[in-house]
A and B are shown apart, each in its own frame.
Chain A
Amino acid sequence: MEIQAMELSQTVSKPSHVHAQRRRLVQRVGISILFLSLLVAIFFLFLIVIFIAIRGAGVINWEFLTAMPRKSMTEGGIFPAILGTFYLALGAVICALPIGILSAIYLNEYAGDSLVLRIIKMGINNLAGVPSIVFGLFGLAIFVKFFGFGVSILSGSLTLAIMILPVIISTTVEALKSIPDSFREAGYGVGATKWQIIKGIILPAALPGILTGTILGIGRAAGETAPILFTAATFFSRRLPHSVMDEVLALPYHIYALMTEGTHPAQQVPIAYGTALVLLILVLGLDLIAIVIRTRARRRKLW
């Protein structure tokens, strides 16, 4: 406000070309600040990726990806952690996907718009912002202790499933919302019931959006440490898991364990960076798949 007032008084008192010069200067400074902020942001993002890549690339080879850890994690590979993360993410999606999609359909297509429902929707969106360690504690109390699943793939998957549910629900709702009402109208016009319209027209059209949300959810589940800390992950295992009741190694937790436990930091730290690089590639790869699906669907979409 003050600057505006100053500028205004100058337009009255100073010749117009001075004023024009000043405006140009302000504009140039403004744009520079915006651009510099962007540079700082990009710099750190790239720095992380490059830093991890340089530190981690040295240890990655075929054996690292396919072998068991040896000599209390100072040698060998991280195969059980890769497999464990795969199991946990898969389990989480199997649990969260049907519930997430079905509740999103109910919310968007059937629920209407009462105060209670608006609170529910707000609650779901806020659930996505709950710190993941809180989900971890909840998983410990409910799945590990109360249901007695113990520290296991099952407990970890269920905990992760609850964590990614809000992501799946809100992206599915968005995908359903983006389908124009004219399709619904056309469906009624040929005598379809509401469910027939949803099943035969709306869901297929919304599928790319739903898929995108699901993959982002998998990425989130694969990358989190805190929810599996008390519910599924273990520091060391002699064998690969045989059932969903077994505890597992997982990539994010493996990094944590390598950096905080054990007695040979000189050998463990490089392995931790290698593990981080694998995890990074995995999560970025999943995000890339989601982006490809979304852009392809957008290009095909003609309504």
Chain B
Amino acid sequence: MVNVTKQQEPPQSVSECTPKNARMWIENLNVHFGSNHVLIDVTIPIKENSITAIIGPSGCGKSTFIRCLNRMNDIIPSARIAGSIYLDGRDIYDTTFEPYDLRKQVGMVFQKPNPFPKSIYENLAYGLRIHGIRHKTEIESRVVRAIKAAALWEEVHDRLHESAFSLSGGQQQRLCIARTLAIEPDVILFDEPCSALDPISTAKIEDLMIELKNKYTIAIVTHNLQQAVRISDYTGFLYLGKLVEYGDTKKLFTAPEEKLTETYITGRFG
């Protein structure tokens, strides 16, 4: 077993960031599920136009962490969340911030592709309509633009009105990305988006994420270390609910500051 009691202060490289220069800034985040202390004093930035990967062994709180960023944990009755999460300097847990508006700005792609039981077109149009966009031509142009941006247009342009379930798993996941893009968020959260996909579909989604970071701010949770190395600019290593280390992906994977990080990335546990 690895000893983590040493970890007290936020990692060094975090302190360069402030709520002002990071797109999202998470400060002293603590999450309890009932009597379970799942996240402990996590402080980490999510920088603009880059990909931040959160790595760590199963059960370390990665998914819980990313689900705090768009308040998906609000749905779980036993969850208690303390600390601050800023989006462009504004606390997203502030009572004036409607979670529905937040989720429009901070989109999410889930572990298992979860298109709605609707047509390919309607999967995207639905999200637009619930945010009050009624004009048919606007919906149409935004749907097409989002499908193109998700690199799915070639494959689906002639069957937009077929069921989303007629697509392959990888295509469904890109449809879910398109669904998020359609509502034009600023930040996109990916919760292990490739864990249910084959290597070819995974490669397509990774390429897509690298492309998307030019326009969006991206955070991804992954248990696949190679994936974090391939696509991310910054990496945070979570272990037993604590942020052990955060920094440039290259540096974290080649010259980690913490012994624990080194043990994990060299595959000695987890």
Interface of A with B (CB < 8 Å)?
182-183, 185-193, 196, 200-201, 204-205, 300-303
Contact = CB atoms under 8 A, between A and B. Distances in A.
B107 A189 contact: yes
B117 A200 contact: no
A200 B117 CA distance: 10
A129 to B, nearest CB: 33
Contact of A190 (B112, B126, B163, B165): B126
B126 A201 contact: yes
A189 B182 CA distance: 12
Contacts of B118: 201, 204
Given A185-B72, A188-B103, 9 more contacts: A182-B110, A182-B112, A189-B180, A191-B101, A191-B102, A192-B127, A196-B130, A201-B118, A302-B165
Contacts of B100: 191-193
B70 interface: yes
Contact of A191 (B109, B115, B131, B163): B131
Nearest to A303: B117
Contacts of B112: 182
B116 A201 contact: yes
B75 A186 contact: no
Contacts of B194: none
B62 interface: no
A128 to B, nearest CB: 29
B110 A189 contact: yes
25 contacts: A182-B112, A182-B114, A186-B110, A186-B114, A187-B116, A188-B103, A189-B70, A189-B109, A190-B104, A191-B100, A191-B103, A191-B130, A192-B127, A192-B130, A193-B100, A196-B130, A200-B126, A200-B129, A200-B130, A201-B116, A300-B163, A301-B117, A302-B165, A303-B117, A303-B165
Contacts of A302: 117, 163, 165
B117 A183 contact: yes
User: For the complex, would chain A's binding face be called helix, strand, loop or mixed by DSSP majority?
Assistant: helix
Given A204-B117, A302-B165, A189 B126 contact: no
B179 interface: yes
Contacts of A186: 110, 114-116, 176, 179
Interface string B92-110: 0000000011111001111
A186 B117 CA distance: 11
Contacts of A301: 117
A201 B117 contact: yes
Interface residues of B, number: 29
Contacts, number: 68
B183 interface: yes
A209 to B, nearest CB: 13
A178 B215 CA distance: 38
A113 to B, nearest CB: 10
Contacts of A200: 126, 129-130
Given A185-B72, A200-B126, A201-B116, A190 B183 contact: yes
Contacts of B129: 200
B75 A188 contact: yes
Interface in B110-169: 110, 112, 114-118, 126-127, 129-131, 163, 165
A62 B235 CA distance: 80
Contacts of B131: 191
B114 A190 contact: no
Contacts of A191: 100-104, 127, 130-131, 183
A106 B142 CA distance: 34
B237 to A, nearest CB: 26
A183 B114 contact: yes
A37 B131 CA distance: 59
B193 to A, nearest CB: 12
B112 to A, nearest CB: 6
A183 B112 CA distance: 11
A191 B105 CA distance: 9
Per CB-CB distance, the 10 closest pairs between chain A and chain B, nearest first, are: A302-B165, A191-B103, A190-B127, A182-B114, A191-B104, A189-B108, A186-B114, A191-B100, A192-B130, A205-B117
A183 B100 CA distance: 16
A30 to B, nearest CB: 43
Interface in B168-202: 176, 179-180, 183
Contacts of B163: 300, 302
A33 to B, nearest CB: 44
A189 B72 contact: yes
Contacts of A201: 116-118, 126
A267 B75 CA distance: 68
B117 A190 contact: no
A190 B75 contact: no
Contacts of A187: 116
